Amino acid sequence: MIKINRMMHTGLVISNLAKSKAFYEGLLGFAPNPARPNFDFEGVWYDIGQNQVHLMVVPNPYENLQRPTHGGRDTHIAFSVDDVEPIRAELEKAGIPYSMSLSGRAAVFCRDPDGNALEFSAVK
């Protein structure tokens, strides 16, 4: 059996660093981690508690993929939040489409500018 200590980061493929930074930093309030290594492609690292999100500007193999309408039925990254209502309000204010959890949980799903699905869940 393979022993795993913790999840370290999630890498997301993006096409436009400026547009993605506006979403992740402007809307979500993430702060870049300048201590992360540089690679031979553009990108940015964000610390989320003891985990990280790594945005990578690389050719997108999913560009022409037909994605499910609801992000909860797609590959997604989930974030713990205290309350989903402020998330809904910010998404509406920004004009970003979202959907609520189909199971009835207190969770909101949306997509970033490249179609990566994000979940914001108030379920403890």
* ∠ CA 5-57-88, rounded to 5°: 75
Q: What percent of the chain has pLDDT over 90?
A: 67
pLDDT digits (tens, 9 = 90+) for 79-124: 999 999 999 999 999 999 999 998 889 999 999 999 999 999 997 6
- Give pLDDT, residue 124: 64
Q: Is residue 24 a contact partner of residue 30, using CB atoms and an 8 Å limit?
A: yes
- Give pLDDT, residue 73: 86
- Give pLDDT, residue 10: 94
- Give pLDDT, residue 2: 79
Asked if residue 29 has pLDDT above 90, the reply is yes
Domains and CATH numbers, the chain: 9-57 (3.10.180.10), 71-121 (3.10.180.10)
- Its sign, for the CA torsion 110, 20, 34, 60, is positive
Interacting residues of 51 by C-beta distance below 8 A, sequence separation 6+: 6, 7, 8, 9, 10
Instruction: Give the residue-averaged pLDDT of 31-52.
Output: 90
